[in-house]
């Protein structure tokens, strides 16, 4: 076929166009991808756009959310509490449902505090207090230990936890302490939660975190809202002794925890006997703050640990909080000391 110069140029352009179209539809990007891309830009009548790009973005966001949800577990909590300046030594003994906790604390005028000596969960003291004489001797040893650490007698205080007030032995101890001239302070669950939050919650986190205390006799959940502290009480880690089911406790605790405002579920500062056992598994050195693992990551075999773990899981599931920070020094009784003049 004889073509003029212009005809040859025209033929070349037609061939080039055909090759370009073929590359577009059969090249590295598949035809399916091209068609999907075109369709996805259209919005069906009466409904929102369901584009593939939006779907991809949603998937990416979900993956990012899941990553951040698990990324905080077991990580360090980098906060340093302010040190007291020219403080006064004070002592406090908690009469709890499972034993005694005692603290010697330095507190300054600005309510900054530091634990100088502590003893958690001394159940042997309570178990050996069969008579009034045993109680008197045991308490004198306890008090003498505090005095030996520099605490004056007038600065030693006794506080009965809300979960321990119903125990028969607790009432005997209260009577002997009063006979010895000591004032014994009792607290309601609401006040215990308030004091626990004041002691445990660092100031920078007051508006974005909440507090939980999983005790043997009860659990307290508290947070600050509108300048006030709100506290809820629910089952403690010894609920199994009353024949209460784990599922029932999970539902009840979860219902209470869901009342924590969404804006304050970013972090939870937690204390209590079972949280202490959970923290031991992941504590690094002598750090004050330990971030717990996710509740389902623990393998618990003892009855009290299982029960406390069930409560911990219920709180975590209900709030969606992924960072639970255990404070090795905090106790609601220190919050009591901070409230004294």
Which tokens go with 159? 């506080």
**Which are the contacts of 3, defined by CB distance < 8 A and separation ≥ 6?**
11
**Which are the contacts of 172, defined by CB distance < 8 A and separation ≥ 6?**
129, 132, 135
Indicate the pTM of the whole model: 0.74
For residue 65, what pLDDT is reported?
32
CA angle 186, 187, 191 (to 5 degrees): 160
Contact 319, 265 (CB under 8 A): yes
The candidate with the shortest Cα–Cα distance to 70, out of 59, 82, 62, 79, is 62
Round the average pLDDT of the chain to a whole number and report it: 80
C-alpha distances (whole Å) from 281 to each of 39, 60, 156, 299 are 54, 33, 33, 11
Residue 61 has pLDDT above 50, yes or no: no
**Of 52-61, 124-133, 272-281, minimum mean pLDDT range:** 52-61
Contact 99, 122 (CB under 8 A): yes
Where in 76-198 does DSSP place strands (E)?
88-96, 99-107, 113-122, 156-160, 184-186
Which tokens go with 218? 């009860």
Contact 332, 270 (CB under 8 A): no
Residue 11 has pLDDT above 90, yes or no: no
d(CA 144, CA 238): 32
**pLDDT tens string 74-105:** 567 889 999 999 999 999 988 877 677 889 99
Is residue 211 classed as helix, strand or coil in its secondary structure?
strand
First to last CA, the chain: 111
**pLDDT tens string 241-266:** 999 999 999 999 999 999 999 999 99
- Residue 4's pLDDT band, with cuts at 50, 70 and 90, is low
- Residue 125's pLDDT band, with cuts at 50, 70 and 90, is low
**pLDDT tens string 131-153:** 788 778 878 887 888 899 899 98
Q: Mean pLDDT over residues 323-331, rounded?
A: 96
Is residue 214 classed as helix, strand or coil in its secondary structure?
strand
Q: Which helix (H) or strand (E) holds 201?
A: none
Q: Strand 324-327 to strand 218-225: parallel, antiparallel, or no bridges (unpaired)? A: unpaired
Residue 68 has pLDDT above 50, yes or no: no
**pLDDT tens string 260-298:** 999 999 999 999 999 999 999 999 999 999 999 999 999
For residue 108, what pLDDT is reported?
96
The candidate with the shortest Cα–Cα distance to 116, out of 164, 155, 168, 71, is 155
HSE-CB at 336 with a 13 A cutoff on CA atoms is 25
HSE-CB at 134 with a 13 A cutoff on CA atoms is 10
Q: Which domains does the chain carry?
A: 88-186 (3.30.420.40), 188-331 (3.30.420.150)
């Amino acid at each position: 076929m004889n073509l003029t110069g212009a005809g040859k140029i025209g033929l070349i352009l037609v061939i080039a166009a055909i090759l370009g179209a073929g590359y577009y539809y059969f090249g590295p990007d598949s035809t399916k991808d091209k068609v999907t891309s075109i369709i996805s830009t259209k919005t069906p009548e009466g409904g929102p756009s369901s584009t593939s790009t939006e779907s991809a973005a949603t998937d990416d966001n979900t993956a990012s959310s899941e990553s951040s949800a698990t990324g905080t577990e077991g990580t360090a909590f980098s906060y340093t509490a302010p040190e007291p300046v020219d403080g006064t030594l004070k002592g406090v003994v908690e009469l709890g449902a499972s034993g005694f906790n005692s603290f010697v604390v330095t507190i300054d005028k600005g309510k900054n505090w530091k634990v100088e000596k502590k003893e958690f969960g001394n159940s042997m003291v309570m178990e050996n207090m069969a008579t009034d004489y045993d109680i008197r001797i045991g308490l004198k040893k306890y008090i003498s230990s505090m005095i030996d650490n520099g605490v004056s007698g007038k600065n030693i205080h006794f506080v009965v936890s809300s979960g321990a007030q119903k125990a028969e032995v607790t009432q005997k101890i209260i009577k002997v302490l009063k006979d010895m001239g000591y004032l014994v302070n009792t607290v309601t669950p609401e006040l215990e939660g308030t004091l626990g939050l004041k002691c445990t919650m660092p100031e920078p986190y007051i508006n974005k975190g909440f507090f939980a205390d999983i005790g043997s006799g009860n659990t307290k959940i508290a947070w600050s809202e509108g300048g006030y502290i709100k506290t809820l009480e629910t089952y403690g880690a010894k609920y199994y002794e009353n024949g209460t089911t784990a599922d029932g406790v999970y539902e009840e605790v979860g219902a209470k925890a869901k009342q924590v405002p969404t804006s304050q579920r970013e972090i939870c500062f937690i204390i209590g006997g079972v949280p202490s056992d959970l923290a031991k598994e992941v504590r690094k050195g002598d750090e004050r703050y330990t971030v717990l693992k996710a509740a389902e990551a623990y393998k618990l075999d003892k009855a009290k640990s299982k029960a406390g773990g069930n409560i911990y899981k219920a709180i975590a599931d209900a709030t969606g909080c992924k960072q639970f920070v255990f404070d090795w020094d905090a106790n609601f009784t220190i919050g009591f000391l901070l409230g004294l003049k």
